[in-house]
Amino acid sequence: MTIKYVQPGAWNSRAVIHGDTAWLSGTVADDKTASMKDQTAQILAKIDSVLAGIGSDKTRILSAVVYLADMDQKDAMNEAWMAWMDKDHPPARAAVGVTLTPGTLVEIMVQAAV
């Protein structure tokens, strides 16, 4: 079975596809001055774009890991997540508090069926 590397860069690929599953790299917002909710919305739009480019969409997300720089802001992230998520196809998800690069409040990594 082949492995497809989507938008490979110097140190990672935007996504890697093996069989019928895609693993997306951690995605962050471009605007580091935005709030937690707005950074999350930016990230989710980027994830939508990558998924569309590989023939998938958010209804096919199997799991997600959300990395938060401040767990006290989890509710703000969840506002954006719940507005975006397809209510009939909720993926398995975990939210983890971590140290992220300066200005990055949230990073999201997903796996999806293709």
For residues 105 and 35, what is the distance between their CA atoms, to the nearest angstrom? 8
Confidence bin at 1 (pLDDT 50/70/90): confident
Q: What is the pTM of this model?
A: 0.96
For residues 36 and 25, what is the distance between their CA atoms, to the nearest angstrom? 19
Judge contact between 110 and 63, C-beta under 8 A: yes
19-72 pLDDT, tens digit per residue, is 999 999 999 999 999 999 999 999 999 999 999 999 999 999 999 999 999 999
77-102 pLDDT, tens digit per residue, is 999 999 999 999 999 999 999 999 99
For residues 40 and 76, what is the distance between their CA atoms, to the nearest angstrom? 9
